[in-house]
Chains A and B, each alone.
Chain A
Amino acid sequence: MPAFAPPPLPSDDKRWKIVNGTMRKNGFARHALIETLHTVQSSFGYLDDDAIRFVAQSLRVPLSQAYGVVTFYHYFSLKPPGKHTMTICTGTACYIKGTDKLVASAEEHLNIAHGQTTRDGKISLMTARCVGACGRAPVVLTDGELQGQMNGEQMLEQLERWAVE
């Protein structure tokens, strides 16, 4: 049997080298699939078809299995994120303190449903299942930065600031 040759990098984008590094660190073992997908997502922001295909081939995992893993876990996204991301926590503590209303008002303000990005690609609206900062509920993440004891006005102000940027 010929020795396995990993596929070439999809492009000369330097980020592929980071992805390859994760796989090499794990000896191109199949169980490194989730670790590698994490690296792709943190480098590129999301997982596109090319990336999934490249990772699957490199780790000798069937494409169906790689796609199955990507769609199973909520953390992985198949769509590119907007320039800014507003993530609203909908864990129990935040819910009890009314984040369902925050989600509704953000959806109305941006005219999109949660999980979507505005048409100009500026703002993505996401929800999270508990970020573990329940002591400061209700919590939102503005571009990943945690903001506690949030109210509707503060959140809409932030969305406004991003919209006019």
Chain B
Amino acid sequence: MNIEELEQIAESVWLENDKFDQEINVCMGTGCLSQHSDQLKDALAKAVTASGKNAFVRRTGCMGLCAAGPLVLVDPDEILYQHVNASHAEAVVASLGAEPVKELQCDLREHFDQQVHVVLENSGHIDPERIDDYIARDGYLALVTALTEMKPQDVIKQITESGLRGRGGGGYPTGLKWGTVAKAGGDVKYVICNGDEGDPGAFMDRSVLESDPQRVLEGMAIAAYAVGASKGYVYVRAEYPLAVSRLTACLRDARRRGLLGNNICNTPFNFDVEIRLGAGAFVCGEETALIASIEGRRGMPKPRPPYPAVSGLWGRPTLINNVETFANIAPILRKGAKWFASQGTEKSKGTKVFALTGKITNTGLVEVPMGITLRKIIEGIGGGVPDGHKFKAVQTGGPSGGCIPEEHLDIEVSYESLIQAGSMMGSGGMIVMDDTSCMVNVARFFIEFCMTESCGKCIPCRAGTAQMYTLLTRICTGAGTMDDLNLLVDLCGTIKETSLCGLGQTAPNPVLSTLRYFKNEYIEHIMHKRCPAGVCNMKAALAAEHGLEVLA
């Protein structure tokens, strides 16, 4: 494979597409598939044949607006239809080349116009299981260019200059990580793609893997070339069957096209990728635990150093990056480090994909430039809180993050500012809560999560989260005292300081951040046995106080 061959493939795809007057793109991501968009696609194809129109029906990945699914996008007119089902197929096809179907049309300019799609540039536009579709949109151009025209250190230099930082949550500079692995000795090295998206309420990695899996493979291959690895693993959750099956198909196609395997592009570079399934352990998102899991053991973290970059999988230097990080690599090489660095803030460059969920009108997947305010995401792109309720907080960073209240909505989205606000970037879950959510109960929910997901290796996390859960349960049921609250704060500090890995070190964050902004709710629960949001059931405690018998 060389650049001319890539161009030939691209051209044949464009020629093929040009034969049709219209393209009907049907979203077949998990959200829309659960509403039978596969049947819709068949119905549309049938209707096209019956009508004799010259249109092409294509299966695509996620279009982002999951709440309005199933979605259909008609190109080149860029007409987006929402809540389409098989019975609408004939009307949609009949409207081709004429007036759009008004009652199905989705006109959410504000939702789409403020987004910048880099990682998601192909999502919703290509068939994820057709490698040629990807190539037609400049896919694999970056890999072939890197292999034939760039030295490994030039690739690392580009990535370093772009300012890209790890999208899994920590925000470690990607170029620096690559450089460390490249410098590490030894002839056997590994590249691992972390797709163990355990963070509840987040589905960015899933969507990228389902909608544009080739982009992730290309990023991994470029990384392998840069650091000198010849074997890669994609670690995906077993809960994501569609992502696994699409990835499997893509691996086969990439091998067939000679973009994976031995002597890629007639160079001495060899690289192949294997899929490893997770088995439902949140802690496996931590890199040393993930490595243990690939080695077939219990996913328990190890103290660092040594870092995986020096001694990782089977003791070899190992590069681990998140799905979204790898998805950013090809565009950086294609368009240049300067282009990438021109977006975002001083220290957080590029764009970030967020899964916008909870009590918000436009739930779904969004990609925004770093530096945008939370308010713009929630009120502009997200369309605000529905049903006349009042916004209360937005939770970012999953169980490691925190809740940010209304008065801090104008902070810009960057790694540093979110930490300052008591939360963190995390992998990109953004859950909006309204006045019907009790913040003490939310904190308890996250602590329960950390308690059950703690691997049990170190005591502060194993025993500490269990104690925190007991204390929070007491407060939520009205049995808590101010001493309990003081003990809780004390425990937060201890667990944070003394836990072995990121799971324990960040487990107290949901409690600390809700205490920082919503302390009055804790006080209400303790002093007045009252849950301001009306979520917690305190009948038992109240009855006991008044000496009444509790009716079961």
Chain A interface residues (CB < 8 Å from chain B): 30-35, 37-38, 61, 65, 68-69, 72-76, 90-93, 95-97, 128-137, 145-148
Known contacts A92-B201, A130-B203, A132-B237, then 4 further A-B pairs from the complex at CB < 8 Å, ordered by chain A residue: A31-B294, A131-B239, A135-B363, A136-B35
Q: When chains A and B are docked, how far (Å) is the Cα of A117 from the Cα of B295?
A: 33
One digit per residue, 1 when the CB lies within 8 angstroms of any chain A CB and 0 when it does not, for chain B 350-374 equals 0000010111000111000000000
Please pick, from B69, B201, B276, the residue contacting A91 in the complex, using a CB distance under 8 A: B201
One digit per residue, 1 when the CB lies within 8 angstroms of any chain A CB and 0 when it does not, for chain B 408-450 equals 0000000000000000000001010100010000100110010
Q: How many A-B residue pairs have CB under 8 A?
A: 137
6 A-B residue pairings within 8 Å (CB atoms): A75-B278, A92-B398, A133-B66, A134-B201, A135-B364, A148-B31
Decide yes or no whether B202 CB sits under 8 A from chain A: yes
Decide yes or no whether B293 CB sits under 8 A from chain A: yes
Q: When chains A and B are docked, how far (Å) is the Cα of A69 from the Cα of B278?
A: 12
Cβ A134 vs Cβ B276 within 8 A = no
Cβ A75 vs Cβ B279 within 8 A = yes
A145 partner residues in chain B, CB cutoff 8 A: 34
B260 to chain A, nearest CB (A): 18
Interfacial residues of chain B within 356-408, with CB under 8 A of chain A in the complex: 357-359, 363-365, 395, 398
Q: When chains A and B are docked, how far (Å) is the Cα of A148 from the Cα of B297?
A: 34
B355 partner residues in chain A, CB cutoff 8 A: 134-135
Cβ B297 vs Cβ A65 within 8 A = yes
Decide yes or no whether B170 CB sits under 8 A from chain A: no
Decide yes or no whether B282 CB sits under 8 A from chain A: yes
Interfacial residues of chain B within 36-91, with CB under 8 A of chain A in the complex: 66-67, 69
Cβ A92 vs Cβ B239 within 8 A = no
B375 to chain A, nearest CB (A): 20
A37 partner residues in chain B, CB cutoff 8 A: 279
Q: When chains A and B are docked, how far (Å) is the Cα of A148 from the Cα of B83?
A: 13
Q: Which of B95-103, B192-200, B216-224, B303-311 lines the interface with chain A?
A: B192-200
Q: When chains A and B are docked, how far (Å) is the Cα of A143 from the Cα of B196?
A: 23
B279 partner residues in chain A, CB cutoff 8 A: 34, 37-38, 73-76
Decide yes or no whether B240 CB sits under 8 A from chain A: yes
B35 partner residues in chain A, CB cutoff 8 A: 136, 148
Q: When chains A and B are docked, how far (Å) is the Cα of A95 from the Cα of B365?
A: 19
